[in-house]
């Protein structure tokens, strides 16, 4: 079966336009230093460059190409979006600017016309970014088990609670926050979703020390006063509002550009295979060992399957195909592929895969990082078990049923 994408002349002409623009605007300045392996090691200067590049993309309408021009999007077609994603995947830069994909989706689906006009342009033009304040220290993978309260006070809400595993490096403009608004209401019908200005009084941000350096945070909200105009959806519709974001976290939108984590994962697997060809053990290349061949080829195949499913989800999204278990399937597969690749690489390379020593570490430490990322892969945006539960419910093989929330308006 041929999975090769066939491009039209219009797409190829547009590719030349995008590539020429990238050559002028996406050239990361070497004087800022080498891009670190881990986002937590990115300097403020690198982050500022990334933020400015995001704004340039937004000004072109290429940050959110498919969204309407009237709000700051590109107003373009999926054919254009495909080319933009592919060309962004070709360039190397610290992609660490705070995004806004989830609040953008929520605003389009559930925001009032006033909220859309007031809030969407700053996100779509790359002038604002957000951190997601959902998970709490005592909630585990059950997102509905939160304690953060939003209490009405006139036209405002006063929010108190704490969130964990939040954000990335440096500061955002908004917090996309899920709270309890009706403590006596039934589960899933007792929450509100707020887009909180990040400079609001009462916010305390602390950095967590995790196995990977991603600058994840613990955030305290101590009587943070938020105007009703930042409540997205109804007072008790928060679960429905953020459910769209939960689908997106599972790669419900899909992708074709091999950006960010998937590209780094693919590159590491590919480079370990090349490394094994030039590394000798017992007088022959490591790649000649049948067990090494088996484990590394398996990871290579798994990674390509992951890419194909990601492209399928992208096609389903832009074609307005009904999605059910598809995002959770991709999320579960991503976890298993990442954990499996770490194990396979460790099996193939042995203890060398666990060191960052300048002399002994393969691929300048990327292999050691892959080991830590493999441990982390089971968590984040839920767990492997929650992915399985959602798939079972949507395949109608569970005691309870569920359906996917909409992602696009």
Convert the pLDDT of each residue in 343-392 to its tens digit: 999 999 999 999 999 889 999 889 999 999 888 888 877 888 888 988 89
- Which range of 120-124, 143-147, 208-212, 266-270 scores highest in mean pLDDT? It is 120-124
Quick one: average pLDDT of 309-338? 88
With respect to residue 278, please indicate whether it lies within any of the assigned structural domains: yes
With respect to residue 105, please indicate whether it lies within any of the assigned structural domains: no
In the chain, what percentage of residues exceed pLDDT 90? 61
pLDDT value at 233 more than 90: yes
Phi, psi angle pair for 157, to nearest 5°: -125, 140
With respect to residue 293, please indicate whether it lies within any of the assigned structural domains: yes
Same domain as 135, residue 80:
no
With respect to residue 4, please indicate whether it lies within any of the assigned structural domains: no
* Domain end point (choices 97, 117, 150): 97
Please, which residues have CB within 8 angstroms of residue 100's CB and are 6 or more apart in sequence?
A: 123, 128, 129, 130, 174
pLDDT value at 248 more than 80: no
Please, which residues have CB within 8 angstroms of residue 259's CB and are 6 or more apart in sequence?
A: 85, 88, 89, 95
Please, which residues have CB within 8 angstroms of residue 176's CB and are 6 or more apart in sequence?
A: 102, 103, 106, 130, 131, 132, 133, 134, 193, 194, 195, 196, 242, 245
Measuring CA to CA, which residue among 174, 176, 183, 164 is closest to residue 235?
183
Structure token pair of residue 58: 């937004």
State how many domains the chain has. 3
**R_g (Cα) of the chain, nearest Å:** 22
- What distance in Å separates the CA atoms of residue 156 and residue 228, rounded to the nearest whole number? 5
Same domain as 228, residue 336:
no
Same domain as 372, residue 260:
yes
CATH of the domain at 158: 2.40.110.10
Give the C-alpha distances (Å, rounded to integers) separating 128 from 26, 79, 401: 19, 26, 37
* Domain end point (choices 219, 241, 263): 241
Structure token pair of residue 34: 């080498």
* Domain end point (choices 241, 266, 288): 241
With respect to residue 114, please indicate whether it lies within any of the assigned structural domains: no
With respect to residue 170, please indicate whether it lies within any of the assigned structural domains: yes
Identify the bridge partners of residue 159 per DSSP, sorted by sequence position: 150, 224
Task: Give pTM, 2 decimals.
Answer: 0.89
**Burial (CB count <10 Å: 0-12, 13-18, 19+), residue 282:** exposed
Confidence of residue 211 (pLDDT cuts 50, 70, 90): confident
Same domain as 314, residue 207:
no
Phi, psi angle pair for 103, to nearest 5°: -65, -30
Same domain as 298, residue 218:
no
Report the mean per-residue pLDDT for the chain.
Answer: 90
Structure token pair of residue 100: 């806004």
Tokens 């519709």: give the residue: 237
Same domain as 255, residue 156:
no
Same domain as 269, residue 354:
yes
Tokens 């079972």: give the residue: 392
Same domain as 88, residue 40:
yes
CATH of the domain at 390: 1.20.140.10
Confidence of residue 259 (pLDDT cuts 50, 70, 90): low
Boundaries of domain holding 330 = 250-394
Report whether 51 contacts 180 (CB < 8 A): no
- What distance in Å separates the CA atoms of residue 285 and residue 292, rounded to the nearest whole number? 10
Angle at alpha carbon of residue 267, lines to 264 and 271, rounded to 5°: 140
Same domain as 172, residue 282:
no
With respect to residue 221, please indicate whether it lies within any of the assigned structural domains: yes
pLDDT value at 402 more than 80: no
Same domain as 333, residue 376:
yes
DSSP code string of 193-240: EEEEETT-TTEEEEE---SS----EEEEEEEEEEEGGGEES-TT-HHH
Q: How many residues does the chain have?
A: 409
Same domain as 200, residue 144:
yes
With respect to residue 365, please indicate whether it lies within any of the assigned structural domains: yes
pLDDT of residue 2: 63
Same domain as 377, residue 286:
yes
Convert the pLDDT of each residue in 95-107 to its tens digit: 888 888 889 999 9
Quick one: average pLDDT of 147-154? 97
- What distance in Å separates the CA atoms of residue 57 and residue 25, rounded to the nearest whole number? 9
């Amino acid at each position: 079966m041929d999975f090769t994408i066939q491009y039209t002349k219009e797409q190829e002409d547009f590719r030349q336009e995008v590539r020429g623009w990238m050559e002028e605007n996406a050239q990361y300045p070497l004087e800022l230093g080498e891009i670190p392996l881990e986002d937590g090691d990115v300097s403020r200067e690198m982050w500022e460059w990334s933020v400015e590049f995001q704004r340039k993309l937004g000004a072109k309408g290429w940050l959110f190409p498919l969204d309407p021009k009237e709000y700051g999007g590109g107003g373009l077609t999926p054919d254009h979006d495909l080319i933009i994603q592919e060309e962004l995947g070709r360039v190397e830069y610290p992609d660490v600017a705070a995004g806004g994909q989830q609040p953008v989706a929520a605003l389009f689906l559930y925001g009032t016309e006033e909220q859309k006009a007031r809030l969407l342009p700053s996100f779509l033009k790359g002038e604002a970014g957000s951190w997601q304040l959902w998970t709490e220290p005592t909630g585990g993978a059950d997102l509905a088990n939160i304690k953060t309260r939003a209490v009405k006070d006139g036209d405002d809400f006063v929010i108190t609670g704490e969130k964990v595993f939040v954000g990335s490096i440096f500061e955002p403009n908004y917090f996309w926050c899920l709270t309890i608004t009706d403590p006596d209401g039934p589960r899933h019908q007792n929450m509100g979703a707020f887009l909180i200005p990040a400079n609001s009084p009462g916010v305390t941000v602390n950095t967590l020390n995790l196995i990977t350096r991603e600058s994840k945070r613990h955030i305290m909200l101590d009587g943070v006063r938020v105007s009703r105009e930042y409540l997205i959806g109804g007072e008790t519709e928060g679960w429905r509002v953020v459910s769209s974001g939960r689908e997106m976290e599972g790669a419900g939108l899909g992708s074709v550009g091999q950006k960010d984590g998937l590209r780094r994962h693919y590159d590491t697997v590919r480079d370990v295979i090349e490394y094994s060809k030039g590394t000798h053990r017992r007088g022959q290349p490591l790649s000649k060992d049948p067990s090494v061949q088996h484990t590394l080829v398996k990871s290579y195949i798994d990674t390509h399957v992951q890419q194909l499913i990601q492209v399928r989800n992208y096609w389903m999204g832009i074609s307005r195909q009904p999605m059910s278990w598809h995002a959770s399937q991709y999320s579960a597969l991503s976890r298993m592929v990442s954990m499996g690749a770490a194990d396979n690489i460790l099996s193939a390379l042995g203890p060398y895969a666990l060191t960052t020593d300048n002399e002994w570490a393969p691929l300048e430490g990327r292999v050691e990082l892959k080991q830590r990322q493999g441990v982390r892969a089971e968590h984040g945006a839920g767990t492997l078990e929650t992915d399985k539960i959602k798939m079972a419910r949507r395949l109608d093989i569970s005691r309870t049923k569920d359906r996917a929330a909409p992602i696009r308006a």
